[in-house]
Amino acid sequence: MGDGRFLGLGVMAPVIQARGIYAFAVASGLVGSPDPEDLAKALRRAVMARVQEQIQGSLPRYFSGHEADGSPARASHSSHLAFAFDPAQGRLLVIAPHVLDRRPPAEDEADNLAILDRALETLRELRAGEVGILSLRPTVMVMEEDPLFAPSRQWSTLTRYRVTRHVRAADARQALAIDIQTQLRLRQFPEAEVTAFECKGIAGKGLEGGATLKFKVAVTGPVLLGRTRFLGGGMFVGQDTASR
C-alpha cells in the first residue's frame, strides 16, 4: 500500500491469531491491584452466562469444567476453558484446552469453539463484584512476540503458583519446586531447573509461591500450572520475550 507499493514498500503481512485464545484489554474501571483469581472468576461467570444463552440444557464440561454429575472435571489432560487476568498488560484471557495442551483442537472442541466465538463476540463489559464494572475491548495478540506465548528458555511466575498436593520436603521452597516439576512432566513439558521463592502457606488455600523455570531449549507458552491454573493462577511469563 502507499506511494511506494510498486517499489516494494508498504508490504503488509497478516497477524496470525491462534484459534482458541481470546484477549480483552481493560479499557477502564480497573482500580488498584485486584486479585487475579477474583477477576478470573468474574470472567468465568460472565462467559458461562453468555454460553448458556447459546445452547439449551446444562453446560458441557468444555465450558463449565464440571462433569454431568456436578463434580470437577476428571482428566489428565486439559478438558475445559481456562480464565486468567494478566496484571502486567491489564488484559483478561479466555484460553481453550487445546491451547493449554499445545495441540490441535479435537473435532468436538472445534464445535465448542464456534459456540464460544458467538458468545464472546459482543463482550464489552465485565461486572467484577467489589472490583467494579470493567470496560473491555478485544485485542489482537501477536503470538510470536507475546511474552505469555512466544518461545523462551526462562519463565517466571506472573501470578502465584499453588501446589496441587502437599509433599514431604525439607522446606516450603523445596515442596513447591517438587510440585512444579511434577506438573511439568504431567503437562509434557521438558525438564526444567526450578527455583522457588516467596513461599508461604495460605489458610484455606495451601502452599503458594513464585518460581523461575529454566529450560535447556526454548519452550512455547502458555505455561499455566498448579491447582488454580484454570483460574489464572500459576501463570508464567517468558523472560526472553519480556525483556525485549
Query: Could you tell me if 95 and 158 lie in one domain?
Result: no
Query: Could you tell me if 125 and 158 lie in one domain?
Result: no
Task: Show the DSSP H helices in 55-192 as ranges.
Answer: 61-64, 97-100, 107-120, 172-186
- Kindly tell me if the per-residue pLDDT of 117 is higher than 90: yes
Query: Could you tell me if 28 and 102 lie in one domain?
Result: yes
Place 15 in a pLDDT band, splitting at 50, 70 and 90.
very low
Reported pTM: 0.87
Closest CA to 66 of 47, 56, 79: 79
Query: Could you tell me if 129 and 209 lie in one domain?
Result: no
Query: Could you tell me if 68 and 132 lie in one domain?
Result: yes
* List of residues 6+ apart from 80 with CB closer than 8 A: 61, 62, 63, 64, 65, 73, 97, 230
Query: Could you tell me if 156 and 134 lie in one domain?
Result: no
Closest CA to 155 of 84, 228, 221, 87: 221
Query: Could you tell me if 25 and 129 lie in one domain?
Result: yes
CA distance 193 to 160: 18
Query: Could you tell me if 208 and 166 lie in one domain?
Result: yes
- Kindly tell me if the per-residue pLDDT of 16 is higher than 60: no
Query: Could you tell me if 95 and 54 lie in one domain?
Result: yes
Does 175 reside within a domain? yes
pLDDT digits (tens, 9 = 90+) for 84-114: 999 999 999 999 999 999 888 888 899 999 9
Does 163 reside within a domain? yes
- Kindly tell me if the per-residue pLDDT of 12 is higher than 60: no
Query: Could you tell me if 113 and 174 lie in one domain?
Result: no
CA distance 192 to 214: 5
Does 15 reside within a domain? no
Please report the pLDDT score of residue 170 as a whole number.
Answer: 73
Total domains present in the chain: 2
C-alpha pair distances (Å), 115 with each of 50, 55, 56, 222? 10, 8, 12, 23
C-alpha pair distances (Å), 125 with each of 84, 120, 138, 147? 16, 11, 11, 25
Residue where a domain terminates, one of 108, 138, 168:
138
CA distance 78 to 94: 14
Q: Are 46 and 62 in contact (CB under 8 A)?
A: no
Torsion of CA 89, 93, 97, 100, to 10 degrees: 0
| Domain interval for residue 232 | 152-242
CA distance 194 to 155: 10
C-alpha cell recorded at residue 166: 502437599
Does 14 reside within a domain? no
DSSP letter string, 47-84: HHHHHHHHSSSSPPHHHHSB-TTSSBP--SS--S-EEE
Residue where a domain terminates, one of 138, 163, 196:
138
Query: Could you tell me if 133 and 157 lie in one domain?
Result: no
Query: Could you tell me if 73 and 49 lie in one domain?
Result: yes
Average pLDDT on 28-53 reads 93
CA distance 73 to 67: 5
Please report the pLDDT score of residue 241 as a whole number.
Answer: 63
Please report the pLDDT score of residue 13 as a whole number.
Answer: 45
Q: For 55-69, 109-123, 188-202, which range has the lowest pLDDT when averaged over its residues?
A: 55-69
Residue where a domain terminates, one of 112, 138, 164:
138
Does 7 reside within a domain? no
- The residue that leads in pLDDT, 204 or 168, is 204
Phi-psi map region of 35: left, alpha, beta (phi>0 left; psi -120 to 50 alpha): beta
